[in-house]
Chain A
Amino acid sequence: MSNEFTADTLNGTIKEQYVSNISMIVTLVSFTMLFATMFLGYALYRLTSETWPPMGMESVSLGLPILSTVIIALSSISFCMYERSYAKSDAQSSWLWATSAFGTLFLVSQLMLWSSLQASGLYASSGIFGSIIYAFTWVHSAHILMGLGALAWLGLRIKRKKAILMTVKNVGKFWHFLGIVWLIMFITIFAI
């Protein structure tokens, strides 16, 4: 293999950042379409229904969803702090731990949400209202699990000194994306 070409190519790190940035954006477009399709379906059900929740069902009390929102917001903020410290090449891994901890707490809050819904008699099989709440939270939680996996992977990469700034930023993009999806879910499914 000849290295003749390296001279006029971009600097190694910049190039890697450029590549992973493009691919992460494409990946997020794909994930966006997945959730967008689900929101489209939800919008149709909601628009064709005369009352919402349908069949005289009770709305879900906002306590747990608000708690989840606060937790996921905190996790996003702590990841921002981590990103900032990493960019200043003064990486403080405690922020990364905090992000993961808030992420796990978010999952716990979702588990509590599911058990409280079941306690109040709302199951996945209780008509379209239950179906929507459960399906959205299931899919979103599965992605949070993937996000936690990504955080763990990032931690390992950093420990082995293999991470570049764009790796951190990309995991961040995915994590913030999940936060935004949750926010939309919170507003459209629980709040209004």
Chain B
Amino acid sequence: MASFEQHMHPKPTTFISKYIISYDHKVIGKQFLWYGILGLGIGGMMALLIRWTLAFPGEAFPILGHFLFPETNGVVPPDVYAMLFTMHGTIMIFYAITPILIGAFGNFCIPLMIGARDMVFPTLNMLSFHFAVLSFVLLLAGLFTPLGAAAGGWTSYPTLSTLVGSPGIGQTLWTLAIFVLGVSSTMGAINYITTIIVLRAPGMGYFDMPLTVWGLWLTAILNAIFLPVLGAGCLLLIFDRTFGTQFFLAGAAATNGVGDPVLFQHVFWIFGHPEVYILILPAWGMVSDFLSFFARKPAFGAKATALAMTSITILSTLVYGHHMFTTQMSPLLTQSFMTLTMTISIPSAIFFANWLGTIWKGSIRFTSPMLFSLGVVFVFGLGGLTGLYLGTVTTDIYLHDTYFVVGHFHYTMAASVLLGGFAAIYFWMPKMFGVMMNETWAKIHFWGTMLGLNIVFFGMMLVGYAGMHRRLYNPFVYEFLEKTIPINTWITWGALIMGASQIIFVISFIYAVFFEKEKAGDNPWEVGTLEWTIPSPAPHYNFDKIPVVKCGPHELGNPSLTGDRDFQYQTEELVQA
């Protein structure tokens, strides 16, 4: 492969050149990690405010409530409630999951795992982070405008998002922020795609790449193709809101010459369905690797897993219509979309079976990354199966816009990706910061999160099945939903458990990064991928000498291995059994 000596920026010396305008992919990865954790914190607090309102309608939010909502004595007001769920969704998707999985670990892992010294375009990489910061500032600025932040849901459907539905500047800022973030992510994607094509270490074919890199690569491809689609939608929405164009105003072009709100839904979901795979693919890749690493076995059907992920990537572009079954779509079209959607379960089942095949009869080490990976297997299984009910037209018409949908996409996007992200943080912590996180607290964090999130998201599916609509301020004004108050209270307690567990994580993380004295070894997890052949934390140039790859990433437990190692590095000649 066309590997070559990269031009390296000199090692930075001042604080600003080291941490603010860094060209180093590892530092940019860390920047994205902090950025994402901040996003998780803000989005999580918003989630707790939402949950409190649903469990205890009309009661003041403890402690913070009186500061935030003095006019209502600490009760979340209805308009703020709409802003909260809008901003919660937006922040969690675009400013928490995206930066952690794609920004942080994409940047950190890709060059290290393919044996490169940096990304192929370091400046573009730096700009991508700075655009992301600008975007977050724009988004949060909306909270401080007179009419408040965007309140049209994270999907921002017109007419909720046009001047008719939200006259404030907050929605304009939201749209602009998403556009800027799209630019940032597209820059990152171009960088990732090119880096993986041209900078793989000599000897590393595509199927010798760790599955993590496969996941990140496919994600980058989807990003580069589909973020501009959302970008175009956002541009037209901005034009509608600021320059008076009429793309998304209600009414048909033929009768009164104005636009069509449903067009935005098409544009949004042409992007939006690939987006859910953009979020989950890196987590799938990482989990596929971790399961193999900690079951001490080669990944079962690694090639099939990579190809299954590729076919899901392709199929994901063809199914967006299943988000719009209730928009008076023609039955012929709904059934075609339904069929295509069901087709996705074939490759999903393939790699899911491969996961199970990997851990089957493995000598599993229940370390924290493994626990989180097994968590992903469980929650993704549940989330994936409940997706079938939503992909089927007949059941979706009943379940559309209920909490069942909320439970489903939280299981797949929030729970799986979040657990995958935590697994990645625990796993790469020694290579990122040179220290290990405390295993005991990590396990407590895992069980707290797992317990909390299952109460929350399973509860959501139950109340959704009972018919609770997803965006109501106080659903209990409807008599048939009054009986769901106890479940909703349970969900909120689950959310509090989950929130409390994250405090453990944050303390443990900050302690490890800033105060931990004990240095981690070069290869604490005993795995063979390229990033573990270099010292911890990874030095400025990553690889003193560009490695030559001789075997695949999952060579574990080969009985012919001599010595006390049960794994071999990718730079070593494959031991012949």
Contact = CB atoms under 8 A, between A and B. Distances in A.
B228 A31 contact: yes
20 contacts: A1-B5, A5-B202, A9-B4, A18-B198, A26-B189, A26-B193, A27-B190, A30-B190, A30-B228, A33-B225, A33-B232, A34-B231, A41-B232, A44-B266, A48-B252, A49-B254, A50-B254, A54-B254, A127-B246, A127-B256
Given A2-B544, A139-B235, A22 B228 contact: no
A34 B229 contact: yes
A57 B258 CA distance: 13
Contact of A131 (B8, B259, B267, B544): B259
Instruction: Determine the interface band of chain A, counting residues with CB < 8 A from chain B.
Output: 35 or more
A131 B246 contact: yes
Interface stretch (B69-77, B237-245, B438-446, B561-569): B237-245
Contacts of A40: 266-267
A105 interface: no
B227 A1 contact: no
Sorted from nearest, which 9 A-B pairs have the closest CB atoms?
A127-B257, A125-B244, A131-B245, A37-B232, A34-B228, A55-B257, A33-B228, A9-B4, A49-B253
Contacts of A49: 252-254
B471 to A, nearest CB: 26
A128 B225 contact: no
A134 interface: yes
Contact of A41 (B194, B247, B257): B247
Interface of A: 1-6, 8-10, 12, 15, 18-19, 22-23, 26-27, 29-38, 40-41, 44-45, 48-51, 54-55, 57, 123-131, 134-135, 138-139
Q: How large is the interface on B (under 10, 10 to 19, 20 to 34, 35 or more residues)?
A: 35 or more
B6 to A, nearest CB: 10
A166 to B, nearest CB: 13
Given A26-B193, A37-B233, A1 B257 contact: no
B190 A23 contact: yes
Given A34-B231, A50-B254, 11 more contacts: A2-B544, A6-B4, A6-B5, A45-B263, A48-B252, A49-B253, A124-B245, A127-B253, A128-B259, A130-B245, A131-B259
Interface string B1-41: 01111001000000000000000000000000000000000
Nearest to A5: B546
A12 B236 CA distance: 43
A37 to B, nearest CB: 4
A4 B245 CA distance: 60
